[in-house]
Amino acid sequence: MKKTPRGAGEGALSIGVMGGTFDPIHYGHLVAAESAYESFCLSRVLFVPAGDPPHKQPQEVTAASHRLEMTRLAVADNPHFHASSIEVDRDGVSYTIDTMRCFRRKFGPDARLYFITGVDAVLQIPEWHNAEGLLEICSFIAATRPGYPLSEVIRFKEQLPSHHRERITVLEVPALAISSTDLRHRVSSGRSIKYLVPEPVEEYIRREELYR
């Protein structure tokens, strides 16, 4: 039987939000999301492909329509995973705080919101747009990744104000050294990506001739 996370009221709605470029989405994303779903007793996990990522040049990113469709294909067989087009549909740069504000309005003030990302991204939180406001809106689930020791996260949390430290929880997940960058390079060089992405995503990449 799952344990209710500390601080979650009985029957409280707990929403996990996994944001990212998803160019393409891969099993590393899915494993982290499933681990968060189980460990934090989440009601559901929403996968949110970035529409216009502020940290990347437009020419570096595959069209949002393709990334959204690959995300939908990847989560289609999991009843507690859902793809959201909230950032793809929004005009302008995709800032996480705008997305989380929308989900706060949608799910209400009592819902617990968790933003799921890798520890490498969490270490960059101070550079995010309105990081202070974001830490007030939601908690962060920092999924471990190969090459990023937990000691770095611990030191980072110690530098935060005390009321923000509890907003970040490290979640150890099975080590999958998969990156979207490597997957794009594999496709462009004619190498296989089988067993690194869901089969429907692999077929979509091949059919649409992405990353070539």
What CA–CA distance (Å, rounded) separates 85 from 130? 22
Measure the CA dihedral 64/56/160/37, to 10°: 30
Classify domain 14-177 by CATH number.
Answer: 3.40.50.620
Neighbours of 41 (CB within 10 A): 15
pLDDT at 2 over 50: no
Q: What is the pTM of this model?
A: 0.90
Q: How are strands ordered across the β-sheet holding 168-171?
A: 81-83, 44-49, 14-20, 112-118, 139-143, 168-171
128-169 residue pLDDT tens = 999 999 999 999 999 988 777 778 888 888 988 888 999 999
**What does the pLDDT read at residue 8?**
43
Rounded Cα distance between 206 and 200, Å, is 10
What is the full DSSP assignment across 10-35?
Answer: TT--EEEEEEE--TT--HHHHHHHHH
171 and 144 Cβ atoms separated by less than 8 Å: yes
Beta bridge partners of 168: 140
